[in-house]
Amino acid sequence: MGNPLLDISAVVDKDFLDKYTLKPNDQILAEDKHKALFEELVKKFKVEYHAGGATQNSIKIAQWMIQEPHKVGTFFGCIGKDKFGEILKHKAEEAHVDAHYYEQDEEPTGTCAACITGDNRWSLVANLAAANCYKKDKHLDLEENWKLVEKAKVCYIAGFFLTVSLESILKVAKHAAENNKLFCLNLSAPFICQFFKDNLMQVMPYVDVLFGNETEAAAFAKEQDFETNDVKEIAKKAQALPKVNTKRQRIVVLTQGKDDTVMAMGDKIETFPVLKIDPKNIVDTNGAGDAFVGGFLSELVQEKPLDQCVKAAHYAANIIIRRAGCTFPEKPDFK
C-alpha cells in the first residue's frame, strides 16, 4: 500500500536545480514554490513518463523476479479519474500487478518529477495530489479489499505512506502482528525520519523487516538519539527497538550504495557486498532502493533464507540502475 505516482523524468541542468532550490540525491514533497517546476520540466526538457511510486515499483519488481504466477502482489493506493490515472492502471496491468486503486475526482493523479543531473545524481519532487487522498474507510475497510489483505503473507509499505494514512498502516500492521505475518516498512527518506517520526514510531513496534539506506539511517539515528553514525550500530539499535509480535525477531536491512549492505538480526550483524558494476554502465540510480526491496520480497515470500533474499535484492538493483526509470528486461536471469 502506498503512493501511486506517475514519474516524469528528465535530465536537467544545475540552473534548474538551483532555481527550485533542489538538492541532489534528495526526495521532497512539492510545496507551492515547486508548482511551476512540473510545467517547466515538460516544456524545457525531453521527458519520459514511467509508472512510479516507491511501493508500487517494489511490488512490480517482486512480480518480475517471480514471473509466474501473475498477480502475486496486490497494491492499494489512490489515483484521480484522469489520463495519468489511466496510464498507471495500464502500466500495473502490463507488469501483472493486481492493483486496486481508490479512484476519486477531487484531486488529479499524483506525479513525481525526477530531475536527473550528470554523474547519476537526481532530485525527486513528489506532488502527491490524489495519492494523499487515500482513505481507510473508503477503501481499505471495504470487505472485498480487506479480504485481499487477509490473503497476503507479506505486507510492505514504504515510509512515504506515513504522510498519507497512518490509520490504514496501523490496521494492516496490527493484522500482520496478530496473525504472525511479515510486516515490512521502509524508512524511505530523511524527511520521514525527521518530520513524521511520531507516525513512524507508532508503526515501528509492528515492523518485522525494516529497510533503509545510509542517509535515511543517519537521519533516523539522529532523531532517535542513537548517538552513532556507524551503519552497523544503527542497524543493531533499530533491531532492538520494542516489538509487538515476539514470535519473530526484527530484521533490519540497510543499503549503502556501492558499499556493503548491512543486516541485523538478533545480536548478529552481517554484511553483504553488492554486485560490481562499471560506473559508465549506470544510467539511473533513482529506482535502486525500490528494486532492492522488490528483489528481497520476491524471495522472502517464498520463504528463502535471508542471504538469498539479499542476493536477489542486489541482483534486482544492479539491473535497474542500468536503465532509465524503474524498468526491466523481459525476464530476470537470477539463480
Least confident of 35-39, 126-130, 190-194: 35-39
Please say if the pLDDT value at position 278 is more than 70. yes
The confidence score (pLDDT) of residue 52 equals 86
pLDDT of residue 48: 87
Residue 217 lies in a domain: yes
Lookup result for grid cell 539506506: 213
Query: What is the pLDDT confidence band of residue 283, given thresholds at 50, 70 and 90?
Result: confident
Higher pLDDT pick, 23 / 233: 233
Q: Does residue 329 form part of some domain?
A: no
Structural domain range at position 204: 53-109+128-321
CA dist., res. 211 & res. 295, Å (int)? 12
Across 203-207, 275-279, 313-317, least confident range? 275-279
Q: What was the pLDDT predicted at 247?
A: 97
Give the pLDDT of residue 290: 95
What total of structural domains would you count in the chain?
1
Do residues 82 and 107 touch, judged by C-beta distance below 8 A? no
Give DSSP secondary structure letters for 230-262.
-HHHHHHHHHTS--S-TTS--EEEEEETTEEEE
CB within 8 A of 329, min separation 6: which ones? Answer: 319
Does residue 289 form part of some domain? yes
Instruction: Pick the more confident residue, 335 or 262.
Output: 262
71-124 pLDDT, tens digit each: 999 999 999 999 999 999 998 999 999 999 999 999 999 999 999 887 667 889
Using pLDDT thresholds of 50, 70 and 90, give the confidence band for residue 285.
confident
What's the pTM?
A: 0.93
Assigned domain for 46 exists? no
Whether the pLDDT of residue 131 is over 90: the answer is yes
pLDDT band with cut points at 50, 70 and 90 for residue 35: confident
Selection from 31-40, 45-54, 238-247 with the highest mean pLDDT? 238-247
pLDDT tens digits along 295-328: 999 999 999 999 999 999 999 999 999 987 777 8
Distance between CA atoms of residues 162 and 2, nearest Å:
9
pLDDT of residue 49: 87
Across 198-228, b (16+ Cβ under 10 Å) vs e yields ebbeebbebbbbbbbbbbbbbbbbbbbebee
With a cut of 80, say whether residue 233 has pLDDT above it. yes
Q: What percent of the chain has pLDDT over 70?
A: 99
Instruction: Please identify every residue annotated as catalytic.
Output: 290
Position 188 pLDDT exceeds 80: yes
pLDDT, tens digit (0-9, with 9 covering 90-100), for 45-56: 999 888 889 999
Percent of the chain predicted with pLDDT > 90 = 82
Residue 20's pLDDT is 94
Per-residue pLDDT tens over the stretch 137-178:
999 999 999 999 999 999 999 999 999 999 999 999 999 999
User: Is 40 within the bounds of a domain?
Assistant: no
Banded model confidence at residue 39, pLDDT cuts 50, 70, 90? confident
The per-residue pLDDT for 242 is 97
User: Closest Cα to residue 6, out of 141, 126, 178?
Assistant: 126
- Mean pLDDT, to the nearest integer, of 220-242? 97
Is residue 291 one of the residues assigned to a domain? yes
Answer yes or no: is 191 within a domain: yes
Residue 203 lies in a domain: yes
As a whole number, the mean pLDDT across the chain is 94
pLDDT of 284 over the 80 cut: no
The answer for residues whose C-beta is within 8 angstroms of residue 204's C-beta and 6 or more apart is 185, 210, 241, 242
Q: Write the CATH number for 82.
A: 3.40.1190.20
